[in-house]
Amino acid sequence: MPHQENPVRRRLRSAGLRVTGPRVAVLEWLASHPHTTADEVAAGVRELLGSVSTQAVYDVLAACAGAELVRRIEPAGHPARFETRTGDNHHHLVCRGCGRTEDVDGIDGPAPCLEPPGAAGFVIDEAEVVFWGLCPDCATHHHEEVST
């Protein structure tokens, strides 16, 4: 049976990035833990590798975001979060209570999916939509506080 290359390694090579242990570990962690902060990624990667500096994880995230292997999400008032779901038209739901973030498919066709009137000559290639509210757990907790 022919040897099949790890898909994460293949993605790194295709993006022109060197394959390193930290890069593979970061992408593997994010694939199963989307919408995590850099510090959460660093803690998870330490579980996989045993030891890696937080700065190394930040560097990997920056390189992978630059190569469009990772998407950086920056909800206002919350730390940046990262995911490996890139290249499609999706948006996010963010809980105002706990910061939980979930994907939601694009609301109006292919990217950028929204064209603002009076775009001042800009060529729009992306629209970032963030829906804000309370997740089910926070909504229940909030309802209980209001009721008492």
Does 32 or 5 have the greater pLDDT score?
Answer: 32
pLDDT digits (tens, 9 = 90+) for 13-56: 999 999 999 999 999 999 999 999 999 999 999 999 988 999 99
What pLDDT, on the 0 to 100 scale, is given for residue 114? 64
**For residue 2, what is the domain's CATH number?**
1.10.10.10
Q: Which residue is it, tokens 């939601």?
A: 104
pLDDT mean across residues, the chain = 87
Task: Give the Å distances, CA to CA, from 100 to 93, 96, 105, 130.
Answer: 8, 8, 17, 12
**For residue 111, what is the domain's CATH number?**
3.30.1490.190
Mind spelling out the 3-state secondary structure of 109-135?
Answer: CCCCCCCCCCCCCCCCCCCCCEEEECC
Q: Which residue is it, tokens 């898909």?
A: 7
Q: Out of 86, 103, 120, pick the residue that ends a domain.
A: 86
Q: Which two tokens stand for residue 20?
A: 């390193």
What pLDDT, on the 0 to 100 scale, is given for residue 135? 95
Q: How many domains does the chain have?
A: 2
Domain residues for 60?
1-86
Q: Out of 54, 86, 118, pick the residue that ends a domain.
A: 86
- Please count the residues of the chain: 148
Residues 6 and 74 occupy one common structural domain: yes
Q: Out of 86, 113, 140, pick the residue that ends a domain.
A: 86
